[in-house]
Structure 1
Amino acid sequence: MSREAFMDAALDQARLGLAAGEVPIGAVLVIDDAIVARAYNQPISACDPTAHAEVLVLREAARIVGNYRLTNADVYVTLEPCLMCVGALVHARVRNVIYGAAEPKTGALASTARALETPGLNHRFEVACGVREAEARDLIQEFFREKRRV
């Protein structure tokens, strides 16, 4: 599958989050060109501030694989990860992170921080951005437009 197809799967997860009243961020974890785990943001419904899509997809994949070290994994996420999620991705030792839209307020890969440039990290991953950017950005904007109307 292509990067766009994997990001489409992450966008599908984000839409599930939107339907559930969550901030619409979705993620999929891919190993050997196959989706191993899928998740969307759930901090509101789970009453858990750590229940971001990236953290949930790592937890599910680690459970399935039987190891928290996901060294041959690529994570596709619709929005640039926050600092907490970048930390989890580093600890999971993923290979690549591909995100859709930048997050100008909390994005920790390029927008507000460059977390991977922190000295002393025991792992770094490759980053790509802009895959299905418009669709990812539109979902987030739709969510917050609706919130402001209520």
Structure 2
Amino acid sequence: MEEALLEAQKAFDEGEVPVGAVLTYEGHIIARGRNQMERLKDPSAHAELLCIRSGAQVIGDWRLLKTTLYTTLEPCLMCAGALLLARVSHVLYGAPDLRHGAHGSFINAFEKKHPTHSLRIEGGLLEGESADLMRKFFKQQRSRSETVDRSAL
């Protein structure tokens, strides 16, 4: 999870919402991702999706069986769907996402047993560190927007 936090910090440094992810297979990191929506001008460029795509290339298969995804924020509904479709085995996340979280904070995409795939999902891993980085980012964003608003007067 520390590696996912490092990816989130990179996203923060690049002006992106600070979410980071790593994908492991048999205990080894095979892919990394961080939010890149602003840089790529792509609303689907979430850390989890970029990590899944990269991991599939490394493994050479879209089925990411026996993998674990670590992410700093509770996956959204789009990412939850991708995790299920990619057949990721286990997801560990840091902070809950009250606005978009798909593990019960906003909606629960995992409450029904999937017909072809079992995915374990757990939250709260390094939750404080993940939440602190998000708070810092949005505080900085609010500060910037107030400065812009004042200069426009």
TM-score (norm 2): 0.91
Give the Cα separation in 2 of the matches to 1:138 and 1:124.
Answer: 31
Give the Cα separation in 1 of the matches to 2:106 and 2:127.
Answer: 18
Provide structure 1 residue ranges, at least 5 long, that are not aligned to the other structure.
Answer: 1-6
Provide structure 2 residue ranges, at least 5 long, that are not aligned to the other structure.
Answer: 145-153
Deviates more, 1:73-82 or 1:113-122: 113-122
State the 1:119 CA deviation: 6.7
Give the Cα separation in 2 of the matches to 1:59 and 1:13.
Answer: 16
State the 1:118 CA deviation: 4.4
Q: 2:103 aligns with which of 99, 109, 120?
A: 109
Q: Match for 1:97: what amino acid?
A: V
TM-score (norm 1): 0.93
Q: 1:67 aligns with which of 38, 61, 75?
A: 61
Instruction: Name the residue aligned to 2:11.
Output: 17
Question: Is the 1:22–1:44 Cα contact (8 Å) retained in structure 2?
Answer: yes
Give the Cα separation in 1 of the matches to 2:109 and 2:130.
Answer: 22
Question: Is the 1:28–1:35 Cα contact (8 Å) retained in structure 2?
Answer: yes
1:86 equivalent to 2:83? Answer no
What secondary structure is seen at the aligned counterpart in 1 of 2:21?
A: strand
Instruction: Name the residue aligned to 2:90.
Output: 96
State the 1:117 CA deviation: 2.3
State the 1:129 CA deviation: 1.0
1:53 equivalent to 2:47? Answer yes
Give the Cα separation in 2 of the matches to 1:90 and 1:29.
Answer: 14
Q: 2:22 aligns with which of 1, 15, 28?
A: 28
- Percent of counterpart pairs with the same letter? 43
List 4+ stretches of structure 1 deviating above 4 A.
118-121
- Max Rg structure: 2
Q: 1:33 to 1:145 in 2, by over 3 A?
A: same
Question: Is the 1:38–1:57 Cα contact (8 Å) retained in structure 2?
Answer: yes
1:128 equivalent to 2:122? Answer yes
Instruction: Name the residue aligned to 2:131.
Output: 137
Instruction: Name the residue aligned to 2:140.
Output: 146
Alignment length, in residue pairs?
144
What secondary structure is seen at the aligned counterpart in 1 of 2:17?
A: coil
